[in-house]
């Protein structure tokens, strides 16, 4: 700030008045620069503007709410539209209350700022902006503003929440932002409604009691099985709609999200495959589609199954979806095609120069897990009953296309 401070309020973010050599200026903080530091702008004002800013908090707040969009429009380095800012001064600071309200109906301004400073929401929505600020405060409550904006988003979707719906969303921490990972916060709920909220959550818990969400190494180290998620989600939703039909969709959705996200968090603390598989006595080689290789040897800290899936989780990606688990000594192995939900088992032809390749369709992640376990524990022959193996590649591709078509249908 280059000029001398003339007036500012306790809230340092509201526009200040400074005096420079050429006269009074309104200094506004708004937007951010390329380093995310706040930008400062200033526009010329007159003495009568200063008098109103000093005496009338409501008009000061309205002016701030109207200048804000101009600051954001300036971006990280552009100039403030000074003419547009100056054009706000007289209509907001010097006009009659009805004229102020009429002016705001054709001007862009930030409602959330006024709500944060205590605006009466009913009057604000009725277009009586100046009257809505009769009890405004210099201090701000942005939690109130966030709640208002969340309610407005729901209103635009045609959603009306009951007190119980709202309490459930507050319990999970999703009242303000539906994308927030849900949690359990009993303190956010009014004591009278908490027992009912807990009964709703208990309904979903009973429905999901025997269900789990597995880790999915195809989706990285933190990935979980989408199908498991959808099954748990469906079970929780059915139970909630059956026992609590009065709940809004938003409330049902947040409880099912809570069940699934908690199950996924538990899964990430578990091995990639929780089944116990004999460690095996043969050395195995893992490779991916980028020709990265890793060897597993008997006596390694992790078993072969877990080591293989850890390798997949580390290496898998949209351009790396073929993984091989091979026993080089007899010349056999399995190749997992994640992009096609299929598998191939490959064996060297005895006393020959080529390989015998058979293809199988895979149903889901659990099917892949069963294949890997069986191969590690029993080798090539242990896979016989786990797929309808086909040696004709064209016939296999036809079967895969039919399978994929039935899934889409």
State the residue for tokens 């008009």. Answer: 59
Q: What is the pLDDT of residues 156-191, one digit of tens each?
A: 999 999 999 999 999 999 999 877 899 999 999 999
Q: What is the pLDDT of residues 10-21, one digit of tens each?
A: 877 899 999 998
CA distance 399 to 384: 18
Model confidence at 409, pLDDT cuts 50, 70, 90, reads low
Three-state secondary structure string covering 71-117: HHHCCCCCCCCHHHHHHHHHHHHHCCHHHHHHHHCCCCCCHHHHHHC
Position 161 scores a pLDDT of 95
CA distance 82 to 80: 5
Please count the CA atoms within 13 angstroms of the CA of 363 that sit on its side-chain side.
8
Position 65 scores a pLDDT of 96
Q: Which two tokens stand for residue 318?
A: 């949209």
Position 117 scores a pLDDT of 97
Question: 57-73 and 97-104 are packed helices; what angle lies between their axes, rounded to 10 degrees?
Answer: 20
pLDDT higher than 60, residue 294: yes
CA distance 195 to 185: 13
| Average pLDDT estimate for 86-106 | 97
Model confidence at 281, pLDDT cuts 50, 70, 90, reads confident
| Average pLDDT estimate for 148-156 | 93
| Average pLDDT estimate for 310-331 | 93
Q: Which two tokens stand for residue 51?
A: 């008098």
Q: What percent of the chain has pLDDT over 90?
A: 84
Position 279 scores a pLDDT of 65
131-145, 168-182, 251-265, 349-363: which range is least confident on average? 349-363
pLDDT higher than 70, residue 397: yes
Higher pLDDT, 32 or 257: 257
């Amino acid at each position: 700030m280059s000029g001398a401070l003339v007036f500012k309020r306790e809230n340092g973010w509201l526009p200040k008045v400074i005096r420079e050599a050429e006269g009074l200026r309104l200094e506004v903080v708004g937007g951010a620069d390329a380093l995310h530091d706040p930008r400062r702008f200033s526009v010329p004002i007159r003495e009568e503007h200063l008098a109103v800013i000093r005496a009338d908090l409501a008009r000061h707040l309205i002016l701030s709410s109207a200048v804000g969009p101009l600051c954001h429009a300036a971006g990280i380095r552009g100039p403030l539209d000074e003419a547009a800012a100056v054009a706000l001064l007289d209509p907001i600071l010097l006009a009659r209350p009805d004229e102020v309200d009429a002016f705001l109906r054709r001007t862009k301004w930030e409602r959330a700022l006024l709500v944060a400073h205590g605006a009466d929401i009913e009057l604000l929505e009725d277009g009586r902006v100046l009257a809505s600020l009769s009890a405004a405060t210099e201090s701000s409550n942005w939690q109130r503003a966030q709640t208002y904006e969340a309610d407005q988003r729901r209103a635009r979707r045609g959603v009306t929440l009951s007190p119980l719906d709202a309490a459930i969303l507050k319990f999970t921490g999703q009242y303000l932002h539906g994308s927030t990972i849900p949690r359990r916060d009993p303190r956010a709920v009014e004591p009278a409604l908490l027992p009912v909220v807990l009964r709703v959550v208990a309904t979903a818990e009973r429905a999901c009691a025997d269900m789990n969400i597995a880790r999915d190494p195809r989706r990285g180290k933190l990935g979980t099985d989408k199908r498991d998620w959808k099954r748990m989600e469906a079970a929780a939703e059915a139970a909630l709609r059956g026992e609590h039909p009065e709940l809004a969709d938003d409330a049902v959705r947040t409880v099912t999200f809570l069940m699934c996200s908690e199950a996924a968090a538990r899964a990430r603390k578990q091995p990639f495959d929780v089944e116990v598989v004999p460690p095996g006595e043969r050395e195995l080689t893992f490779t991916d589609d980028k020709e990265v290789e890793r060897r597993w040897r008997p006596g390694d800290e992790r078993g072969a199954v877990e080591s293989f899936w850890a390798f997949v989780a580390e290496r898998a990606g949209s351009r790396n979806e073929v993984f091989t688990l091979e026993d080089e000594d007899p010349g056999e192995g399995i190749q997992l095609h994640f992009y096609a939900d299929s598998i191939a088992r490959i064996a060297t032809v005895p006393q020959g120069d080529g390989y015998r390749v058979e293809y199988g369709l895979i149903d889901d992640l659990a099917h892949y897990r069963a294949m890997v376990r069986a191969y590690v524990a029993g080798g090539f022959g242990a896979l016989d009953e786990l797929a309808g193996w086909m040696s004709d590649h064209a016939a296999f591709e036809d079967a895969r296309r039919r399978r994929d078509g039935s899934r889409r249908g």
